Structure formats: C-alpha cells, structure tokens
Chain A
C-alpha cells in the first residue's frame, strides 16, 4: 500500500537521523540536503540506499543529483511507489 507524503517524510527523517544524527524534526520539506542539513555525498548515498530498502523503490544514481531538497526526495519516493 502506498504511503502518504507525510508518512514518507517521517520515514525519510528517521533514515536521515539514523545516518547523520540530525534531529528528525529538522528534516523538513523545504530543507536542502547539502546547504541546510550539511549532508555530504557519502551520507547522501547511504540515505538513498536505505530509502530504497525502506520504501521499496528504486532511486537511480542519475536521479540523486536532482534530489536537492527533502521535498524533492519525498515527492520522488511518493510517486515511485
């Protein structure tokens, strides 16, 4: 069953928190992964792989560079489900 956008956000926030220690409630739709959350490319790849596992989606490598904000990622995952 497809998850709602807010459910995806909550799940993604959990992954980000687990990987980086950033508080889950700081992971908001308008935040940039690099500029706001200071997440480096290595952490980003780990987050992507963990998100694929958690949400049962495929996030191609060439798509990752388009996921600038948390909202971009949430939308991609929600649509890919």
Chain B
C-alpha cells in the first residue's frame, strides 16, 4: 500500500501576520495586508506602482544580527517560517539522512544582488561582500533551512516563477514515497519588494496601479481588477510519512494526497487561454489522490487579479470540473496577501490545509462586482466546509508556462 503523507507543522510570515496563526486569523477576518511603501526610493525613481504587501515581521527582531547579515531577506523569511513550522511539528526527532528540504523561490536574492552591484559601482570590487554569492543564489533559502535543521537527505530548490513553491510541495511527495526520507520541510519564499522588480513587473503591465487605494487593489474575479499586487514573505510545511508521524504521536493537520506539475509550451508569460496544461495538472493531482473531480469541495485558486490570468484559470477549472465547479467553494486569498511569487504556493498550501483542518474556507476580499465571465462560487466571508472526508486543491501558475497543483484531504485518524 502506498505510504500516506501527512502535514504535521505549518509556519508562515506574510503581509497579514508574522506567523501562520496570526496570518490565518487576519485572513479569516477579511483583512488586507497591502499598503503604501514608505521608502525614499518610491519617489526617487517615480515608480508607477507605490504599494505592496510588505511582510509584517521585522526580521531583525526575530533573527540574530549575524543571521541578518549573512542571509538575503528572502532567506530570512524562509528561516522564520521554517523554524515556526518545525516547532509546530514538535521538532521531530528524525535521522538527518532521512530528512530533506524542498524549498523554493521565484527570483532569489535580488536585494543582495543589486546592493552588491551598487557597492561595486560606488566603491569598487573590494567592497563587494564575500557572502554575496551564497546570499543571492536561489538555493540559499533551502540551504539555510537545511543547515538549521541538519537535513542531510537532500536539499533542493524548485524555481518556476509563481508556481515554485507549489512545485516544491509536489516534489516532496516522491521523496517521501521513495522510502528513503521520513520528513520533508517544503515551501517557498520571496523578498522582491525592491524598486527594480517593481519597475520591471510594472513595465510589463502586470501590476495593479491602484495607488490611491492599495487595500482594494488585489481584487481577483472583480470586473475592475487591473493586475496583481506584489507581496513578500514565506511559508513552510512539515510533511511526513504517516507512519513516522504516528510513531512519534504527532498532531496531523491533513493528508497530502497529490501533486502534479505540467507545462504549457505556449507563451513565456501569457497563460494558455485553453487552459489544457493547467487542467492536466489538476486531473493528475486528483488521479494520484484516487479522487474524482466531484470529491473536491474547496479550491484555493491562483487568482492573482490580472484580467487575463483569472479567466484562463477559470477556463482550466471548468475543463476539469464541468458542472460540479459551481458546487466548489473557491477562495482567492491573494486578495488579502498580495502575490508572494515564489512564496505564494506555500502560504496557499497552508491556507488549504487549515481550511480542511478547521473546515472553514477563507474569504476573498474586494469582490465588489464579480466578473460575469467567471461565474465561480467565490467565498466572500468564512464558510463552513462539509463534515466527513473532504478534498481540496491549491493551484499555482508561473511565467514560463508552469502549472503546479497539489491536493489535500481532511485527515481521518
């Protein structure tokens, strides 16, 4: 029999809260984590977008001065989230060779890279910090977590833009089913609220420009949506074989029952309007779960609030679920958190897990006038999910034509 995989710990640091619990509470309360960026560079460069979902946590208050100095902000967020998840799981006693990390980022250490370039231009090569490379490399966050928990079973980094951390969670499944690994810390992070990525995303008209009302800017499925809102932070999940979790008496949030990755080969940034690649990822994840589309009661959708993306995802979901789609409670939590890029899938995986565990689908805020072209049953205030065994999925799609979908089932002991 295939080994079951369970979620035993969650950790997050987001624009809504410094940890998973406060984030979830703020999400259920319908709060927005989006606000104006109060940095001199916003006006200095006359950025066309002046707001974002900035992390609530002050990393300097949580980490040591040396950790702050030696880790890019993306790795700082990653470490904060991973430590919370690890503690939440009861700091499992696991053989280091049977402990692995699957931890993603979308961009990597962009602050480190660009600060180092500034130092080079202004002061010369000798003033480029010797830690620059290990700080900017995209596997930096995964490596930092691996060092922290002494994971010797392999530390890997999925990089697939906004699908990265959902892919990382999906990648954990094979590791845990291989029989070689008992526990995986999986997730992803991002710290890209820097003038360059902001200017670059704005240049491609991907970002909302609702500068006068930031809290209302991320509005998936609304007719007046005008782009996504950049967010920053991290999420981490402790994933474990059921056997290992039960042996140590761990609390279990939910079961991870499927994860699939497909690619569109259609366009470097635009989603395939037919949604076939995304639909294949959903179908494959459900097949792994031995589930039918009709079993799904809740979707944490990718739903970034871009005019094109939200419709493309709807088309893909309709392809898989057909008439049943109208029975599914859909939450678009980026309305509250903004889009954490390489961290988005991780925090949305946590939201999906907590939704199953607490049988409550979180709300989608700012849905004032639902786009008639997307007739989904969008959850706008916390909604109870049914009793009994229930299934939920979380979807993520990334520039490059990446589609990643993971499926969780409520855990029945």
Contact = CB atoms under 8 A, between A and B. Distances in A.
A6 interface: no
A52 B65 CA distance: 22
A45 B130 CA distance: 7
A19 B126 contact: no
Is the interface on chain B under 10, 10 to 19, 20 to 34, or 35 or more residues?
under 10
B128 to A, nearest CB: 9
Nearest to B128: A49
B147 interface: no
A61 to B, nearest CB: 9
B131 A20 contact: no
A51 to B, nearest CB: 12
B129 A46 contact: yes
B331 to A, nearest CB: 43
B134 to A, nearest CB: 8
A44 to B, nearest CB: 9
A20 B66 contact: yes
Where chain A touches its partner, the secondary structure class is helix
Contacts of B126: 49, 52
A46 B132 CA distance: 11
A21 B127 contact: no
Interface in A3-62: 18-21, 41-42, 45-46, 49, 52
B64 interface: yes
B292 interface: no
A21 B127 CA distance: 21
A21 B130 contact: no
Contacts of B130: 41-42, 45-46
B69 interface: yes
Contacts of B64: 21
Contacts of B69: 19
A18 B70 CA distance: 12
Contacts of A45: 130
A75 B196 CA distance: 44
A42 B131 contact: yes
Contacts of B131: 42, 46
A20 B130 CA distance: 14
A19 B69 CA distance: 8
Given A18-B65, A42-B130, 15 more contacts: A19-B66, A19-B69, A20-B66, A21-B64, A21-B65, A21-B66, A41-B130, A42-B131, A45-B130, A46-B129, A46-B130, A46-B131, A49-B126, A49-B127, A52-B126
7 contacts: A18-B65, A19-B66, A20-B66, A21-B65, A46-B129, A46-B131, A52-B126
Interface of A: 18-21, 41-42, 45-46, 49, 52
